[in-house]
Amino acid sequence: MTSFTLFIGGVAAALLLRPVLGLIYAVIVAYAGGGKTLKSLGATPGSWAIVTGGSDGIGKEFATQIAQKHGLNVLLVARNKEKLDTVQRELSNSAKGDIKTHVLDFSKATPSDYARLKETILGLPGGVSVLINNVAVNHVSPVSFIDESIETIESIVQVNISAQLAVTRIIAPLLVSQKKGLILNIGSLAGIVPSGYLSVYSASKAFLRFWSNALAMELKPSNVHVEHIRAFFIVTAMSKIRKPTWLSPTPKAFVKAVLGRLGKNIDSAPYPSHAILMWAIDNIMGERFWIDQSNNMHIDIMKRVVKKKEREAAAAAGSRKKDI
Ligand SMILES: NC(=O)c1ccc[n+]([C@@H]2O[C@H](COP(=O)([O-])OP(=O)(O)OC[C@H]3O[C@@H](n4cnc5c(N)ncnc54)[C@H](OP(=O)(O)O)[C@@H]3O)[C@@H](O)[C@H]2O)c1
């Protein structure tokens, strides 16, 4: 064998080996625990965690695990009073600390609504140490931008962008003055891969990721840890995924992974299968491929939604005929 053949063989082996070793490393890192504790990130027992969108899905689960296992008081912020009251009742029995609620519809929030929220937060005895910017709204189902209603577009911008800024603008100065604290921003795969037919939601989550990473750098010297969480598929009302799978965990499993792996990075995918998918997106086929996959998946969902609506309309027309 000539040294040239050996050289080419060596380069080919290195090119093949690199992604394999990268995948092995990604799997090991994904399944290894070892994050920092909430306490070491500034969340002292007796202080408060604020969870936006805390009445359902992932936000409710953050509130539950933080209240039950980490001994913090929790303020839940969401729009539906009945749901908030129910969660408060459920949690009050098992929480180590206090549970309070604050009703606010972020899609319609005015400066005086944010002033009222600030008053509630400043009145919490023991101070605030954690903010979980979890609230978000999505398109009801995939839809082209030009067919989406102006109301939905405005609601996504208000909730997914304006509310994140307004709530953080209230809480970040408190954390900075304490020189400790934690801000978690719950992102999405749609904020990493531009997602056709969910374009406004996708762009709002890309905004969140950029802003979160920039804010993390600004607040680091004040010992405030800001982390953007890459959440992909989770069983909740928003995702309409009903059964958990390897790739789509329950909120309980997802939040446990997040709280167990905090503080290692300012932009992380703490759930193991999501971290492996993230590795694939970064290393296989290139961005264009993943943009196409996302686009095709949403076109497919859109077609199925249209067919379902047609079936329902036909069934309704049939039952009207019978009645006549
Ligand atoms: N589920 C997934 O697969 C997935 C994937 C990637 C990222 N995420 C992200 O994870 C986060 C939580 O999503 P989720 O799936 O848990 O959603 P969800 O089950 O729909 O829960 C949303 C929460 O936000 C509240 N909320 C909605 N609109 C509001 C408004 N206008 N004002 C105040 N509160 C409002 C809801 O409260 P009310 O009941 O009072 O309306 C509820 O508590 C979001 O940031 C989402 O983008 C989720």
Note the pLDDT tens digit of each residue in 9-47: 777 777 778 878 888 887 887 788 789 999 999 998 899
> Ligand 1: does its nearest atom lie under 6 Å from the Cβ of 238?
yes
Q: Give the pLDDT score at 6.
A: 77
Ligand 1 centroid–CA 185 distance in Å is: 12
Class of residue 312 by CB neighbours under 10 A (exposed 0-12, middle 13-18, buried 19+): exposed
Question: Which is the catalytic residue, given 96, 201, 271, 307?
Answer: 201
DSSP 261-316: STTS-SEE--SHHHHHHHHHHHHSS-HHHHHHHHHHHHHHHHHHHHHHHHHHHHHH
Q: Give the pLDDT score at 83.
A: 98
25-39, 55-69, 120-134, 226-240 — which is least confidently predicted?
25-39
Q: Give the pLDDT score at 1.
A: 64
If you average pLDDT over every residue of the chain, what do you get? Answer: 94
> Ligand 1: does its nearest atom lie under 6 Å from the Cβ of 142?
no
> Ligand 1: does its nearest atom lie under 6 Å from the Cβ of 236?
yes
**205 a catalytic residue:** yes
Percent of the chain past pLDDT 70, that is, above it, reads: 99
Place of tokens 């904020």: 191
Select from 135, 185, 212, 274 the residue to mutate for testing ligand 1; criterion: most ligand atoms less than 8 Å from CB. 135
Instruction: Give CA torsion, residues 17, 22, 25, 27, to 10 deg.
Output: -110
Percent of the chain past pLDDT 90, that is, above it, reads: 85
Question: Which is the catalytic residue, given 60, 180, 205, 271?
Answer: 205
Class of residue 204 by CB neighbours under 10 A (exposed 0-12, middle 13-18, buried 19+): buried
Quick one: average pLDDT of 223-238?
97
Enumerate the β-bridge partners of residue 100.
75
Tell which residue, 184, 198, 187, 89, has the closest CA to residue 129.
184
Digit-coded pLDDT (tens) for 300-309? 999 999 999 9
Alpha-carbon distance of 197 to 221, in angstroms, equals 39
Tell which residue, 35, 44, 72, 75, has the closest CA to residue 257.
35
- Ordered by where they begin, the domains of the chain are 35-288+290-298 (3.40.50.720)
Quick one: average pLDDT of 46-59?
98
Q: Give the pLDDT score at 147.
A: 96
Select from 79, 81, 90, 184 the residue to mutate for testing ligand 1; criterion: most ligand atoms less than 8 Å from CB. 79
> Ligand 1: does its nearest atom lie under 6 Å from the Cβ of 83?
yes
Quick one: average pLDDT of 119-136?
97
Ligand 1 centroid–CA 160 distance in Å is: 10
Neighbours of 10 (CB within 10 A): 11
Alpha-carbon distance of 247 to 234, in angstroms, equals 8
Half-sphere exposure of 77 (CA within 13 A, CB side): 27
pLDDT at 101 over 70: yes
Ligand 1 centroid–CA 136 distance in Å is: 5
Q: Give the pLDDT score at 76.
A: 98
Quick one: average pLDDT of 98-124?
98
Quick one: average pLDDT of 253-280?
95
Q: Give the pLDDT score at 210.
A: 98
Ligand 1 centroid–CA 22 distance in Å is: 33
**201 a catalytic residue:** yes
